Amino acid sequence: VHLVNQIAAGEVIERPSSIVKELVENSLDAGSGRIRVEAERGGARRIRVSDDGCGISRDELALALSAHATSKIESLDDLEGVATLGFRGEALPSIASVSRLRLASRPAGADSGFELEAEAGKVGEVRPAGMPEGTVIEVRDLFYNTPARRKFMRTERTEFGHIDDLLKRLALARMDVALDLAHDGRMVRSLAPAADEATRNRRVAAVCGEAFMEQAIVLEEAHAGLRLTGWIARPGFSRSQADLQFFFVNGRLVRDRLVAHAVRQAYRDVLFHGRHPAFALMLELDPQRVDVNVHPQKHEVRFRDGRLVHDFLFKTIHHALSGTRP
């Protein structure tokens, strides 16, 4: 079983940021309103994610670390409309198989918490733990037992950069959740939940930069069950930054060719030379109209009506850039 988990880990867990991704998605699944991520040495030494979500009961702690026990997909219908972000039921066992992991949780309303440790997938005893309501997962010494994998990790700075990028994406996808990020004991980001337009703008500025926000065009357009909101840079926005390109489909970050093409076309059409367009856009549509599980790790999606989506994106952005109604 440990070997199976380690192989699974190879697919899900490439680097520290992959772990942060899985842990934070679990925290979101648990309905958390505040999530705190702490990393040490780029996350290789230690990653700690704590939340104020629903928690895990004493009886289910060990289960959370055993493979395939928790998969939420039980039928084809589930696959069609996966609403929650996690669905494989193997992230925690995979992470535990390549690290030293501590899982502590106190369900909402319970009068105490419990904790459990695992080392290279070997799960220990459940013990009482003093803690507030919510869940804390600590992952230490990533890949300590798989040296070949450890070699692929980059510098601490690069690995932390990946974690920060991930947090930025999450910050935009889930404006309602408070997010804190610390590295080596230093607070790097502390994002309050966006309750209204002002706080939402502040959050976008914190992620995309003040310079972007000052000149950005605000989008809000709906058509044929598609809704596009967000911010795009005016033609001529001087910061040539390829990484200022966020596109979310139903709250999930997407790097999709159809989307990229529509955006690029629109910019190109309005005399936008040489630079990468900058944008933070959110597309919402009926989950039945988009297949998000094409490549869970690759951020690709498949739209049922791709042409309609492409045209809608192109026209909306084009219109906003050129300042004319379509």
Confirm if 149 and 19 have CB atoms less than 8 A apart: no
Is residue 86 at the binding interface for ligand ADP, with CB under 6 A as the rule? yes
Between 85 and 263, CB nearer to Mg ion: 85
SS3 242: coil
For the stretch 104-133, what's the b/e string if a residue is b when 16 or more beta carbons lie within 10 angstroms of its beta carbon?
bbbbeeeeebbbbbbbbbebeeeeebebeb
For residue 131, what are its two tokens?
């803690």
Site string for ligand ADP, 133-172 (x = CB under 6 A): --x-------------------------------------
Distance of CA 93 to the CA centre of its chain: 19
Between 25 and 221, CB nearer to Mg ion: 25
φ, ψ dihedrals at 104, nearest 5°: -130, 140
Between 93 and 277, CB nearer to ligand ADP: 93
The single residue among 87, 231, 267, 272 that binds ligand ADP, judged by CB under 6 A, is 87
Site string for ligand ADP, 37-56 (x = CB under 6 A): --------------x-xxxx
Is residue 5 at the binding interface for Mg ion, with CB under 5 A as the rule? no
Between 64 and 213, CB nearer to Mg ion: 64
Between 29 and 141, CB nearer to ligand ADP: 29
Burial, 277: exposed, middle or buried (Cβ in 10 Å; 0-12, 13-18, 19+)?
Answer: buried
φ, ψ dihedrals at 160, nearest 5°: -70, -35
Is residue 91 at the binding interface for Mg ion, with CB under 5 A as the rule? yes
Between 106 and 318, CB nearer to ligand ADP: 106
The one segment of 24-32, 164-172, 180-188, 251-259 that binds Mg ion by CB under 5 A: 24-32
Q: Are strands 279-284 and 245-249 parallel, antiparallel or unpaired?
A: parallel
Q: What is the smallest separation between the CB atom of 122 and ligand ADP, expressed in angstroms?
A: 17
Cα–Cα distance measured from residue 275 to residue 271, given in angstroms and rounded to the nearest whole number:
11
For residue 78, what are its two tokens?
């589930």
Confirm if 155 and 179 have CB atoms less than 8 A apart: no
Among ligand ADP, Mg ion, none, the one that 256 touches (CB under a kind-dependent 5 to 8 A) is none
Between 82 and 91, CB nearer to Mg ion: 91
Among Mg ion, ligand ADP, none, the one that 87 touches (CB under a kind-dependent 5 to 8 A) is ligand ADP
Q: In sequence order, which ranges of the chain are alpha helices (DSSP H)? A: 2-12, 16-29, 61-64, 76-80, 91-97, 147-150, 156-173, 197-208, 210-215, 257-269, 306-322
Is residue 68 at the binding interface for ligand ADP, with CB under 6 A as the rule? no
For residue 35, what are its two tokens?
């999530």
In the region spanning residues 110 to 139, those forming contacts with ligand ADP, defined by CB under 6 A, are: 135
In the region spanning residues 234 to 273, those forming contacts with ligand ADP, defined by CB under 6 A, are: none
For residue 271, what are its two tokens?
């005399």
Is residue 91 at the binding interface for ligand ADP, with CB under 6 A as the rule? yes
Cα–Cα distance measured from residue 8 to residue 4, given in angstroms and rounded to the nearest whole number:
6
Between 37 and 204, CB nearer to ligand ADP: 37
The single residue among 6, 18, 26, 97 that binds ligand ADP, judged by CB under 6 A, is 26
Q: Point out the residue whose Cβ comes nearest to Mg ion.
A: 86
Is residue 113 at the binding interface for Mg ion, with CB under 5 A as the rule? no
The single residue among 43, 53, 55, 86 that binds Mg ion, judged by CB under 5 A, is 86
Cα–Cα distance measured from residue 98 to residue 51, given in angstroms and rounded to the nearest whole number:
23
Confirm if 165 and 21 have CB atoms less than 8 A apart: no
Cα–Cα distance measured from residue 315 to residue 221, given in angstroms and rounded to the nearest whole number:
10
For residue 173, what are its two tokens?
């996808």
Chain residues in the site for ligand ADP (CB under 6 A): 22, 26-27, 29-30, 51, 53-56, 64, 70, 72, 86-92, 135
Chain residues in the site for Mg ion (CB under 5 A): 26, 86, 91
